[in-house]
Structure 1
């Protein structure tokens, strides 16, 4: 049985993470993704640190390794008119053409939506940029990486305390992953639309838009009167156990009653101090925290959470990286992919697995990220019919590599 996107082909003019993560999702669903990289150095994610070296001794950074499973790589100089023409000739062979350069960059190179649509009207063209391509915005000329749009979403300021500086990139590249998810959704919707109408279209994703959508509580709670990072009257805090911390969420009266019974104070369910959710928050530090942490003092964080879960109270331990790697759920769900290193280091590179599980579709074996330009000759000969001599001429001129 095949995968949902078997037969769908993606030509990805991409770098770093915001688009590569999206096209990796599409590859995991069965799409054939051909990645177009600059001949000198390739995708800038290859230069990230930490890194390993490939069989040719070239650096391959962590950002590249975790965002490019299952793809093929060709090297084409898009700034050379001959390289641009190669992409325009390749485009009609693909369903999706995707790019994540600074807004307007592909248009200036002659590879914008109008250029692709002129040679392939049914193409689905996807752009991922900091602030979008299709709507005028005062930020349109600015470069952006994930932490930049995360800061502009308001979530850093919401979580900042006192005079301390903001915690930057607290969950990794939320701006990249968020934009990638919306890009993938846009592609799937555009493919369905094309099936119904026969028409291609432009899918335009702004990273800032994506992060504002994912940090919805910032503006939503502000509009409802909460200020200074308030999350409303609920218990949503970290508590100390014998060997670390766990997080507890209590937002309903029935959960509060179960909590106080578990920690040995069932009478608090009828205590006037805790008659409202605001009362829980008002007495968190002077009453509830000492009682919860006193109960948990003889338990590991895992034991505390197990007891909470058995009582129907949502709780989770704060895990370190090594604990996540060893976690039984992570193993059961195949959520870490081991990429063997090619530079003599025994520890494989761990890459998050595919979180999409489908009952009618078997999970495919993951294939390693491509080496730089590994498939240039194969793609140009198969797709465009170029001879070895023609490819060598282009290679000698630096147009491909």
Structure 2
């Protein structure tokens, strides 16, 4: 964690990946992030992966460093209490992150009636209000038809990483901070709507894929594990290890050619084809079959240890294929040697390697990550400090079943 945003208080009412990851980023940058949790937990409170007793590692991971107020949002009193927490006074407060629907008790207009300078960041499926999640958006912009080997024909391949959710969380974070800067200058609040589909559609446009499909009048073909537009693919060593090798830049290509000792043969191919692989990465892709065949023989004739020693000495861009457990067991960057990680105990009662922020600030000392809260762990604290309720008033809310504690 880094105490850069210690003057900000953000309220989060959300579930799943996109909106909680926004709150996580803000918490890791030092903001106070208060989750409004349903009593007993929301729809992602038991989401996989989870422990043997049912505790969600997913929930513990995405809610580190936050505070939790447990409220019965089905009760009118609970909804009114949530609105009061969201719109509570304070110079760095009045910041709200959610993936709840546009209309309803958490509509921006209703909340802004309590605080006109409120800033709401609302992550949505489609701008129209139609529902969507990462995996429905991904296929809607055509990426599964580009993924996987050509032998699959028209069969789609879904990506296991919820890329649009994660990108939305980051996008929502900087959008909220930009709006907060605008509020400082003008005093104006506003609602920011971030539809997943619009984020995905704009991203493929930024990457040139809309222009490509428009000009070619067709979607991009599949290329398996080959890197589109440059040199890159997986190869097997003599002892059966699979490595990914990438040469995008001129320096990466030159390092690979030297490491494999194939300078003369590359010159012969260049002379035959009348091209330069060194100065034009596109030529490495166009003529990939001939280059892959050459590199495949060289990689297949060497042991993993010999190959990677030469690769590291000459600065080749490469990586070993492995599953996550193998990475945890073998890679020092996936251990306490990496300062982003600490071993901490979580609400599940389990202690495991836990990441903080991936960003390092040269002027700040990195702090250890803070575990996720237990449901309702901060109910009394927030009701007292944020809303100024007395002990008797809080006790009455408990008696009515409007709030709960850990």
Are 2:144 and 1:121 aligned?
no
SS at match of 1:10: strand
Of residues 228, 232, 244, the one that matches 1:247 is: 244
Unpaired segments of 5 or more residues in structure 2? none
Structure 1 equivalent of residue 260 of structure 2? 263
Structure 1 ranges of 4+ moved more than 6 A: none
TM-score (norm 2): 0.83
Are 2:26 and 1:26 aligned?
yes
Unpaired segments of 5 or more residues in structure 1? none
- Render the CA deviation track for 1:69-112: whole Å, top value 9, x for unaligned: 111101122332211211222222333111112x32xx222x21
Q: How big is the shift at 1:220?
A: 4.7
Given that residues 11 and 95 in structure 2 are in contact (C-alpha distance below 8 angstroms), is that contact kept between their aligned partners in structure 1?
yes
Q: How big is the shift at 1:126?
A: 0.8
SS at match of 1:35: strand
- Render the CA deviation track for 1:145-198: whole Å, top value 9, x for unaligned: 22222222322111144247433233x221221110000010111122122222
Structure 1 pair 11–239 and aligned structure 2 pair: CA distance change class (3 A): same
For 2:45 and 2:283, the matched residues in 1 are separated by 52
TM-score (norm 1): 0.84
Structure 2 equivalent of residue 184 of structure 1? 173
Of residues 140, 144, 155, the one that matches 2:143 is: 155
Are 2:295 and 1:299 aligned?
no
Given that residues 347 and 372 in structure 2 are in contact (C-alpha distance below 8 angstroms), is that contact kept between their aligned partners in structure 1?
no
Structure 1 pair 318–218 and aligned structure 2 pair: CA distance change class (3 A): farther
Structure 1 pair 254–34 and aligned structure 2 pair: CA distance change class (3 A): closer
For 2:368 and 2:294, the matched residues in 1 are separated by 49
For 1:333 and 1:115, the matched residues in 2 are separated by 45
Please say which of residues 212-221 and 152-161 is displaced more in the overlay: 212-221
Structure 1 pair 201–233 and aligned structure 2 pair: CA distance change class (3 A): closer
Alignment of 1:1-400 (within 5 A): 3-39=3-39, 41-52=40-51, 59-90=54-85, 91-93=87-89, 94-101=93-100, 103-104=101-102, 107-109=103-105, 111-132=106-127, 137=128, 140-142=129-131, 144-160=132-148, 161=150, 162-163=152-153, 165-170=155-160, 172-215=161-204, 216=207, 218-223=209-214, 225=216, 227-229=220-222, 232-241=228-237, 242-251=239-248, 255-271=252-268, 272-273=271-272, 275-276=274-275, 280-281=284-285, 284-285=288-289, 288-300=292-304, 304-325=307-328, 326-331=330-335, 332-340=337-345, 348-400=351-403
For 1:359 and 1:253, the matched residues in 2 are separated by 30
- Render the CA deviation track for 1:178-224: whole Å, top value 9, x for unaligned: 11000001011112212222222212111223334555354354345
Q: How big is the shift at 1:255?
A: 4.6
Please say which of residues 28-37 and 309-318 is displaced more in the overlay: 309-318
Q: How big is the shift at 1:373?
A: 1.1
Q: How big is the shift at 1:282?
A: 5.8
Structure 1 pair 47–217 and aligned structure 2 pair: CA distance change class (3 A): farther
Given that residues 236 and 249 in structure 1 are in contact (C-alpha distance below 8 angstroms), is that contact kept between their aligned partners in structure 2?
yes
For 2:201 and 2:358, the matched residues in 1 are separated by 23
Structure 1 pair 387–321 and aligned structure 2 pair: CA distance change class (3 A): same
Given that residues 342 and 368 in structure 2 are in contact (C-alpha distance below 8 angstroms), is that contact kept between their aligned partners in structure 1?
no
SS at match of 1:179: helix
Given that residues 246 and 317 in structure 1 are in contact (C-alpha distance below 8 angstroms), is that contact kept between their aligned partners in structure 2?
yes
Given that residues 75 and 400 in structure 1 are in contact (C-alpha distance below 8 angstroms), is that contact kept between their aligned partners in structure 2?
yes
For 2:201 and 2:312, the matched residues in 1 are separated by 32
Please say which of residues 360-369 and 318-327 is displaced more in the overlay: 318-327
SS at match of 1:92: coil
For 2:349 and 2:254, the matched residues in 1 are separated by 56
Number of aligned residues: 381
Given that residues 232 and 245 in structure 2 are in contact (C-alpha distance below 8 angstroms), is that contact kept between their aligned partners in structure 1?
yes
RMSD: 2.9
- Render the CA deviation track for 1:97-145: whole Å, top value 9, x for unaligned: 11112x32xx222x2111122211222111012124xxxx3xx222x32
